[in-house]
Amino acid sequence: MSVSINSGQSCIAAKRFIVVDEVYDQFVDRFVEAMDDQLVGNPMDEATDIGPQARADLMDDLHEQVEATLEAGAACRLGGEPMDRDGAFYPPTVLTDVPADSPADSEELFGPVATVFRVPDEAAAIEKANDTRFGLGASVWTADLERGERVARQFESGLAFVNELVKSDPRLPFGGVKDSGYGRELARDGVREFVNAKTIWVQQAAHEETSSVE
């Protein structure tokens, strides 16, 4: 699952899930079930889905964001408390009914915490997706590929995928917009970021005639 990439500690791990009202309830039920099935444990064990957070203080910061969001009125459908075991283990967590401007709405939660937003329609979904100061990656999931591409083109993000998780590919430029940075790495665009372009200007004398060949 994208939300659990590197235990949620990845710039392209999914953070916000924006779901239209028509399928919202079904999505949340299935999503919570799938998150609950994620195995938390030793990252060296191949069966593990989610390992520990990088440091205990980072887990504490994550939990403070979750607590502040719940205090603001959000609902916790799964998880929400550090696990009672040795190590900085935070469980798969799902938050719904997230109030505007609460930490889970306005900040990046760098861990296995997913926020699910209910919106009435496609236009509202696009508006909500762009209502953030971040802009690295976004994806849209739909059975209508033409619709998916149309929506993807309206995302204010450096990367946009249709029916695919946000990912990096060495063949394609990678980078964000807004507070997610500027410039690109990977592919031709990325190589050019590390190249010094040199300008050479040779000025002809004013009395010399110029000619061109077509």
* Phi and psi, residue 105, nearest 5°: -95, -35
pLDDT of residue 4: 86
Give 124-153 pLDDT, tens digit per residue: 999 999 999 999 999 999 999 999 999 999
Higher pLDDT: 131 or 2? It is 131
pLDDT band at 181 (very low <50, low <70, confident <90, very high): very high
Query: What's the distance, CA 179 to chain centroid?
Result: 13
Domains along the chain? 2-120 (3.40.309.10)
- Which pTM value belongs to this model? 0.87
Residue 204 DSSP class: P
